[in-house]
Structure 1
Amino acid sequence: MNFSNNSFSIKQAKEIDLVNYLKSLGFEPEKIRRDDYWYLSPLRDEKETSFKINRRLNRWYDHGLGKGGNLVDFGIEFYKCSIPELLNNLSGNLSLQQPIVYPIENSVQQEPKIKIIEVTTLTSYPLLRYLEQRTIPVAIAQQFCKEVHYNLNDNTYYGIGFKNDLGGYEIRNPYFKTTASPKGISTCENGSNEVVVFEGFFDYLSFKAMTKNLPENSQDFVILNSVSFFERARPFMENHESIRLYLDRDETGQSYTKRALSLSTKYKDESNLYQNYNDLNDWAMNFGKSKKINLRQKNS
């Protein structure tokens, strides 16, 4: 069911499964009790879960705020927008994340949670080989990443782990991409007036490899870990005089870039550097070697 060229009605918006909608925004339940899905509230900061979705009723309630309702009520609270603005967002006319629309009765059950067993220095040969394939120097990866061993469905795996500000990890290996919750953005604050923004941590690592001779405190950084976290990252980003965006060149990444440019002249689109590629790391892997000097000179 594709609404990208049409406008959502209020009725259609209310029929979107709230659990899947929150998943599209990067929020996962902390626990599930029958039909009740409990979250750390997406509407405010908290340490104990008090935001509940009853999936059978497809209704939410935030016990800390004393508010609840359907998806339209949630969207108005989450985006601080009007109903017409929310319906435009859902229809793809604005650059907010398009929700996944599933019938409630066919919705999948909760994905098994990952349990981290051990976090160590990156040393496993398959992971080092994977970094080489992604043109990431091992020394750069070891500076910003860890080797994470985790349990999933009673089996043990390991991957390259990149930590976010909430203590969770983005985990990658040659065969699997996952997240050890909680999921969130990663920031690096060096006291700079300029912040550089990436969707994923491989783009960040590529950038650090290309600009390794720059002073460490020359820039601040945001790694969104999901482009749907753009709004969540805005307070940090907009606390800077200059915001340089290295978002993906796909439709979603470019729509977020377009929205950012409409918000403030602080935002600058740097994605033309890799305009024929999906993202900065893809460019670095396939074409960037002859162009890296330009990026170094620009950042100097």
Structure 2
Amino acid sequence: MKFSSNRLSIAEVKEMDMVDYLFKLGYEPSKIRYPDFWYPSPLREEKTASFKVNRKLNKWYDHGLGKGGNLIDFAILYHGCTVGEFLQQLGGDLSLQKPLIRQAVDEDKPENQIKVLQEFSLSSYALLRYLEQRRIPVDIADKYCREIRYELAGKNYYGIGFKNDLGGFEIRNPYFKASSSPKTITTINNGAKEAAVFEGFTDFLSFKSIHKNEPEDRFDFVVLNSVSFFEKARPFMEQHDSIRLYLDRDTTGRNYSRYALSLNEKYKDESTLYQNHKDLNDWVMNFGKAQKKQLKPRL
């Protein structure tokens, strides 16, 4: 499936997370000192990581080349294309986030796969603090998530794991996000007539915290774990009388919401609830801050 091939604006592309974009191209950071993510340069051959992404600024700098900039600056060097060619090609397939020209790392090779070593109840201070910062109650997270110890490229890491229908995990920690194979959707079937649909599990957990006093069987749930699984989720979603979409407010999420509304009148776009935020969890994290700022007494 493709959406309109209309060219995306430069501002829209600059909103794309640089670390996520490099991950989709097959690049993992070799060192993280937040907000700096260090990589062996994707633009040249090197053994020592000297390519830095500042995630807070969403900018990169290659110390070996003495060049840096935003995602578009990187893309025209990496893909060997013009700005116009890059924007045009993204316009058709941005929702799927496919590498445009080359896949730098073969993700099917064993050395590039995540191996889950252990899973247990959430307990690490850093992860509990991460949940607190995202305003997700620990008791709700503990019901649907596990703490994961996993191996990647010979190194061990840990994170919050959310299991999908095939037994793989979506894994998050304060500095990184990853997935273990197999990757697919997560469905929760309570026998309800309504389904609530989310892109990621932090939005799902935020929804559960907002509706914590409602009956468990009011909704069935779908967590796509990637919007590219939307078609895969349709058979389960469309069994329901009503399908409430809580997708991200970025270009991809809005495109999928519009696409869903064109398919069937069962679909309802609920993202207007958080229209000035990037997703439901972002809205929950910032809820009330604007009001507090307005109420602050003048000096």
Q: TM-score range by the shorter chain?
A: 0.5 to 0.7
Q: Which blocks of at least 5 consecutive residues in structure 1 are unaligned? A: 7-22, 25-89, 292-300
Compared CA separation, residues 93 and 264, structure 1 to 2 (3 A): farther
Deviations 1:58-90 (A, max 9, x none): xxxxxxxxxxxxxxxxxxxxxxxxxxxxxxxx8
Equivalent position of 1:64 in the other structure: none
- 1:287 Cα deviation (Å)? 1.7
Tell me whether 1:110 sits opposite 2:109 in the alignment.
no
Secondary structure of the 2:260 match is helix
In structure 2, what is the equivalent of residue 5 of structure 1? Answer: 6
**When the two structures are aligned, how many residues end up with a matched partner?**
207
The residue that corresponds to 1:236 in the other structure is 236
In structure 2, the residue matched to 1:280 is: 280
Match of 1:127 in 2: 127
Give the 3 Å change call, closer, same or farther, for CA 232–289 of structure 1 in structure 2: farther
* Structure 1 vs Structure 2 CA RMSD: 2.6
The corresponding residue for 2:165 is 165
Q: Is the 8 A contact 2:95 2:227 kept in 1?
A: no
User: For the Cα contact (< 8 Å) 1:95–1:256, is it kept in 2?
Assistant: no
Shift of 1:98: 5.3
Aligned mates of 1:131, 1:166 — CA distance in 2: 25
* TM value normalised by structure 2: 0.65
Range with bigger deviation, 148-157 or 136-145:
148-157
Distance 2:231 2:204 in 1: 19
The aligned counterpart of 1:101 is: 100
Residues 205/249 of structure 1: CA separation in 2 closer, same or farther (3 Å cut): same
Contact 1:198 1:224 in 2 (8 A): yes
Q: What's the counterpart of residue 195 of structure 1?
A: 195
Amino acid at match of 2:104: V
Change (3 A) 1:169 1:184: same
Query: Percent of aligned positions with the same letter in both sequences?
Result: 60
Residue 222 (1) aligns with residue 222 (2): yes
Structure 2, unaligned runs of 5 or more: 8-23, 26-88, 292-299
Offset at 1:164?
A: 0.2
Q: Contact 1:194–1:220 (CA<8 Å) still a contact in 2?
A: yes
Distance 1:154 1:94, change over 3 A: closer
2:105 match: secondary structure: coil
- Structure 1 counterpart of 2:6, one-letter code: N
Closer/same/farther in 2, CA of residues 186 and 245 from structure 1, 3 Å limit:
same
How far did 1:100 drift?
2.6
State whether residues 5 and 91 of structure 1, in contact with CA within 8 Å, keep that contact through their aligned partners in structure 2. no
Q: Which residue of 2 aligns with 1:14?
A: none
Preserved CA contact (<8 Å) 1:194 1:219: yes
Inter-partner Cα distance in structure 2 for 1:260 and 1:96:
14
Partner of 1:40: none
Give TM-score, length-normalised by structure 1: 0.64
- In structure 2, what is the Cα distance between the partners aligned to 1:193 and 1:95? 32
Structure 1 residues 94 and 156, CA, compared in 2 at 3 Å: closer, same or farther?
Answer: closer
Would you say the 8 A contact 2:244–2:270 is kept in 1?
Answer: yes
Instruction: State the 1:102 CA deviation.
Output: 1.0
